[in-house]
Amino acid sequence: MFISRRIKLLNLILISAILLSTVIFIPAFRTKAAGESTGSDISGHWAEKQLKDWISKGFIKGYDDHTVRPNNTVARAEFITMMNRAFGFTEIENVNFSDLDSSGWEYDEVRKAVKAGYINGYEDGTIRPGNKVNRQEAAVMIAKLLKLDTQQEPVTENKFTDVQKIPEWSKHAIKMVAYKGIMGGYEDGTFLADSYITRAETVVTIDRALQTKTAVSGSSEQTTDLPTPSVPTSTTNIPNVATDYPLPAGYKIVWADNFSGSEVNTDNWKFNLNPRDKAIFTADSAFIGSDGLSIRSWSDNEKNYTAYLDTKGKHEFTYGLFNAKIRFLGGTGTHSAFWLQSATNGKYIGDPGKSGTEIDVVEFRKVNKSGKNISNFLPSTIHWDGYGANHKNVSKNTTTPKSMDGTWHNYSVLWTPTSYKFFFDNQQYAEIDDAVSQSPEYFILSCEIGAANNWAGLPPAGGYGPLATSNVGMDVAEVWVAQNQ
């Protein structure tokens, strides 16, 4: 009897082992039954929009419990399957990886990835389809696919706070995908190269890569971040917001004001009424006219007045393409500007990423302190660590073909986790990679009079005339910010 029981037990163990050996690794992609609702766990998720879009396109599918599990990690086989589906890869290459079963679901996906050229396998002849993918591995695969690994773009060193922890084999790829806006860092400025990438991060990353590849398709330079538009310089027929300004691939306008109402929209803007230098800021110095917002510098009873508007506490953004269409109207002793500012600039000395910075997109002066006409001089400057003894700044400048005085132009900054790129009429002229802010910044439109050291020359002895007739200041047709979606 004892022997019989042992035989039965051994048979049971043997049968269980056989059953377990036949279990096939199935990826988290399945066909949804009619009437099913997939994605019960992505409502309110930061990547909800992209996840829903991918579900609708069939690039990803949920689990049997109707969840998507956006924060789960991703295996190599799953990652390349997502890549293949998104990019539509169907051609295959013969492969012979020692750990790849030709009868497995992942076999053809690996063959497609090898044919597409973004994976090669490991030195020991394996492909390791079940290994989890970390962020640097994802960056390398994306860079290979888009051929960013062979590009010699004029990009700067990685500015992630943990750059010293990024190994050499992935540094260039990480730099390039960050430069292209495909991958970014976290709120603390880190990239976390060794951290496993989540399903949501995978979807967003591949989606951005897909849009980048679509944008550069057919381009010999492999970059169309900001294609050349036809920019009007007429003072009439101001177009609607951004209709004449093509956006980088993947970017969408998230906030804008085209000043089309009868008065300044105080839901968007507030007036700074604190006196500064030789000017008194007033709300009536800024008004809505036929060309949008007009700010005028004017004088009365030997006092000078102008306006300073900002979106502080109303509309603040971290990263994006910030643009203003402006016509500067120059005068001596005054300068006008479009800039961004952080409410905490200088709060954490030595940490501009956390504190934020002042980002001067454009500061226009008709003359310098010597009275020389510099109306085609275009400076862009970053200020950080406050405005006291610790203050620091870096500036890059250019000159425009013609005077900016009295003509309409687009002034822009593309602010990413690694740099600021400055544009005049959609043409990049400078890049600054120092003191990159990681904090929310707000818009400022301002005119100032009598700056220190007569930086913009001396105000005229008789002033600028009354508000009704002053032709000194700036007109703004529109402002907007676009962010990578």
Distance CA 197, CA 45 (A): 16
User: Which pLDDT belongs to residue 150?
Assistant: 65
Residues 6+ apart with CB under 8 A from 480: 241, 242, 253, 255, 256, 257, 322, 323
Measured between alpha carbons, how far is 82 from 368 in angstroms, rounded to an integer? 57
Residue 382, pLDDT score: 94
Tens of pLDDT along the chain (485 residues) come to: 444 444 444 454 444 443 333 333 334 433 344 334 556 788 888 888 888 889 888 888 878 888 889 899 999 999 999 999 999 999 999 999 999 999 999 999 999 999 999 998 899 999 999 999 999 999 999 999 988 866 554 444 556 888 889 999 998 898 888 877 788 777 677 889 999 999 999 998 998 888 766 444 433 323 223 333 222 222 223 334 544 577 888 899 999 999 988 899 999 999 988 777 778 899 999 999 888 999 999 999 889 999 999 999 999 999 999 999 999 999 999 999 999 999 999 999 999 999 999 999 999 999 988 889 999 999 999 999 998 898 999 998 888 888 999 999 999 999 999 999 999 988 898 999 889 999 999 999 999 988 666 778 888 888 999 999 999 999 999 999 999 88
pLDDT of 244 = 59
Domains defined along the chain, listed by start: 25-216 (no CATH), 251-484 (2.60.120.200)
Which pLDDT tens digit goes with each residue over 134-144? Answer: 999 999 999 99
pTM for this prediction: 0.54
Q: What radius of gyration, in Å, describes the C-alpha atoms of the chain?
A: 29
Q: Tell me, what amino acid is at 14?
A: L
Say what the pLDDT of residue 257 is: 93
Burial of 274 (0-12, 13-18, 19+ CB in 10 A): exposed
